[in-house]
Amino acid sequence: MVIQRKPKTTPAAQAAAVDAFVSGAPDAAHAAPAAGAYNKGVVKGNKRQISLTIAPDLLRRVDEIAKRTGQGRAGIINMAIYRAIEGDVFK
């Protein structure tokens, strides 16, 4: 058995090894957002998760619509926000 010395590395090689290690992490794609990317909320696939506070009566009405249409609560809320922004509600 031969004892070998640890190979010497340059600072550039060490930096490259660190970058390779970090970019190999499962969440590496989300570590550095692209220029101009919107990074608020928690990434959930192609969407962002946010926290929303809503009045109980309004939530009950949203749940009734969701049940009646067979959609989820989030789908109803997303559709309502989309229609309000794309429509003439805020113009």
The per-residue pLDDT for 33 is 56
Which residue, chain included where needed, has tokens 């010395």? 5
| Residue pLDDT, tens place only, 73-83 | 999 999 999 99
Number of domains in the chain: 1
Cβ pair 39, 33 in contact under 8 A: yes
Cα–Cα distance measured from residue 8 to residue 13, given in angstroms and rounded to the nearest whole number: 10
For the whole prediction, is pTM greater than 0.85? no
Domain of 63, in residue numbers: 55-91
Is residue 2 a part of any domain in this protein? Answer: no
Of residues 25 and 87, more confidently modeled: 87
Residue 39: per-residue pLDDT: 82
- In this structure, is residue 38 part of a structural domain? no
Q: What is the pLDDT of residues 39-84, one digit of tens each?
A: 888 888 888 899 999 999 999 999 999 999 999 999 999 999 999 9
* Residue 66 falls inside a structural domain: yes
| Structural domain includes residue 43 | no
Residue among 90, 84, 87, 78 at smallest CA distance from 47: 78
DSSP string, 42-73: EEETTEEE------HHHHHHHHHHHHHHT--H
Residue 70 in any domain: the answer is yes
